[in-house]
């Protein structure tokens, strides 16, 4: 099962049982990023001094640690679109990683090939876990009130191609923030399908969901929250910075 096919978003205005049941089958869209190469304009042959300076700058950039390089590329997570609707046809996006639902964090780590960052909050429980080579998704839900969901995606760099859902309308703010020491972006809103399952038209809404993207020297991270969980970017960052790698090694009895 491809997770790209699991996220025709729920159409209910208020979160209720049907809404959350829909999320189980629909709220698993992983946003993707691809690195867009930057090109340099050719310098006129007679401007040797400029060429020399440019060469020095490039050399200095090459000395930057990977974390800084990836931080500069974070802005590839979103791109602008002029309209308030997008069309999405799953059959046109079959290059997404083929993920499967697993029973435990240990299983997810075995499939992904890395240690998973987890979130711990006494009010929330881990409901669903998905994994494939180079990618994991954890979905937490509020334990005593169905409807509040946090979606945590972790992947190695360049595992997932760009998606139509990375688009953001021109009038929607994209906040440039920091998660720990890494550049990040925060957006309020998402694309929602108000039709039936076969309707390819998605409309942007500022309600329901909040998104946070960032990269480290090892991983890409994407978090999506119900709007009732976070009021602003700072609250989203607080959750992001609380993610930790647990020791999930199974102890075998002698």
pLDDT tens per residue across span 89-112: 777 766 677 889 999 999 999 999
The alpha helices in 35-104, defined as continuous H runs, are: 48-62, 66-72
Pairing of strands 149-156, 219-226: antiparallel
- So what's the pLDDT on residue 150? 93
- So what's the pLDDT on residue 26? 47
pLDDT, mean of residues 231-237: 95
pLDDT, mean of residues 176-201: 89
- Please give the model's pTM, rounded to 2 decimal places: 0.70
Range of lowest pLDDT (13-17, 19-23, 85-89, 228-232): 13-17
User: Which two three-digit tokens encode residue 74?
Assistant: 């974070």
Neighbours of 119 (CB within 10 A): 16
17 vs 121: CA distance, rounded Å: 22
- So what's the pLDDT on residue 197? 66
* Bridge partners, residue 154, by sequence: 136, 221
- So what's the pLDDT on residue 78? 85
- So what's the pLDDT on residue 157? 86
Res. 7 pLDDT band, cuts 50 70 90 = very low
Neighbours of 88 (CB within 10 A): 19
Longest dimension (CA), the chain: 76
Q: CB-based contacts of 48: which residues, under 8 Å, 6+ apart?
A: none
Which has more confidence, 126 or 18? 126
Tokens 């191609």 map to which residue?
Answer: 161
Q: Is the pLDDT of residue 236 over 80?
A: yes
Hey, where are the domains in the chain?
A: 3-35+64-245
């Amino acid at each position: 099962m491809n997770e790209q096919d699991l996220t025709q978003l729920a159409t209910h205005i208020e979160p209720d049982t049907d809404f959350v049941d829909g999320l189980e089958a629909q709220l698993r869209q992983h946003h993707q990023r691809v690195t867009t190469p930057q090109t340099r304009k050719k310098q006129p042959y007679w401007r040797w001094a400029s060429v020399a300076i440019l060469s020095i700058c490039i050399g200095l950039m090459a000395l930057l640690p990977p974390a800084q390089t990836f931080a500069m590329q974070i802005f590839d997570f979103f791109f602008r679109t002029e309209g308030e609707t997008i069309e999405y046809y799953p059959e046109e996006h079959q290059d997404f990683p083929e993920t499967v639902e697993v029973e435990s964090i240990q299983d997810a780590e075995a499939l992904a090939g890395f240690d998973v960052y987890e979130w711990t909050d006494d009010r929330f429980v881990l409901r669903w876990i998905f994994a494939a080579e180079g990618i994991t998704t954890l979905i937490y839900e509020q334990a005593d009130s169905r409807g509040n969901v946090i979606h945590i995606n972790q992947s190695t760099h360049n595992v997932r191609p760009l998606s139509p859902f990375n688009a953001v309308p021109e009038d929607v703010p994209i906040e440039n923030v920091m998660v720990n020491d890494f550049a990040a972006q925060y957006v309020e809103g998402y694309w929602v399908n108000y039709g039936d399952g076969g309707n390819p038209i998605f409309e942007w809404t500022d309600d329901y969901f909040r998104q946070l993207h960032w990269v480290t020297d090892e991983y890409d991270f994407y978090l999506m929250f119900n709007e009732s969980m976070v009021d602003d970017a700072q609250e989203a960052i607080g959750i992001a910075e609380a993610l930790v790698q647990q020791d999930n090694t199974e102890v075998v009895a002698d």
